[in-house]
Structure 1
Amino acid sequence: MRVSDSDDNHFATGCKLVLRKGMIVTEIGIGILGGGYMGKAHSVAMAAVGAVFNTALRPRLEMICASSPESAERYRAAYGFGRATDDWRTLVEDPKVEAIVIATPQATHRDIAEAAFALGKPVLCEKPMGADLGDAEAMVQAAETSGV
């Protein structure tokens, strides 16, 4: 398990309430898997939510997972994630990561999604959903079984 921290101060596990301009804001810890084009797009989009939308639920960029420790750390610094790893299981199992974005190669989607659903975490998965129809059906079943 390799995780790098940007500092020693982390948010408490679970959604955090923060007062911003008189509005109570709920933050949810986001973990993004994949440092390619779509992983970057989701990182930028999540970071912009507070500036673009007037919503009380705000993503907190908790952890990024990329193919190597060096690239994960680069993405962490570039996009403002709290931590970085090159092990998808570390990200999925981390209690501070409350929702998962899967932007990895499609052959990896099923394993990641099933692990996240088993922990009760919501998943946003890039297309195609899986390597084949069987993967997609298994992911839907895992989501339904988990109640997420």
Structure 2
Amino acid sequence: MEDIVYFEDLAIGDGFDFGPLTVSRDETVAFAAEFDPQPFHLSDEAAATTHFGTISASGWHTTALFMKMFVAEMQAHPGRQAASLGAMGVDELRWLRPVRPGDTLRGRSEVIDKKASQSRPEMGIVRNKVTIFNQDDNPVLTMIPIAMWRTRPA
């Protein structure tokens, strides 16, 4: 197993890439049907009457696809996965462009802030700037997850 990447090992500016993942029409429609059943997420005909023009993924689906790619990357690096203690939330979530079936997404995560927990010495808090790009290198989503990260044992 890789060495564990503890809170103390992380520095502002550290980052990694993840993905790619291609968005399928069936998954786009299935997600929307269950979680965000707005017409422009469900059919091209309905989307044609909006500014989208054609079917687009729900922003929540795009966010879920981020998580799928991100967790796959973490699992591919057990040392990083072992230090992750989950998240406390997300700041500044923005959906910048429509994501459409057939788009291929990839992401970049970069540490922008970190601080030791005052109440829980076994963890620190890490904020990352995440950007998801489409196949044309256009950003489609940005967000700042707030993660809990294991500190090095004393």
Same-fold call, TM > 0.5? no
Rg larger in 1 or in 2? 2
Q: TM-score, normalised by structure 2?
A: 0.25
Q: Which has the higher contact order (CA 8 A, sep 6+)?
A: 2
Q: TM-score, normalised by structure 1?
A: 0.25
Larger strand percent: 2
Larger helix percent: 1
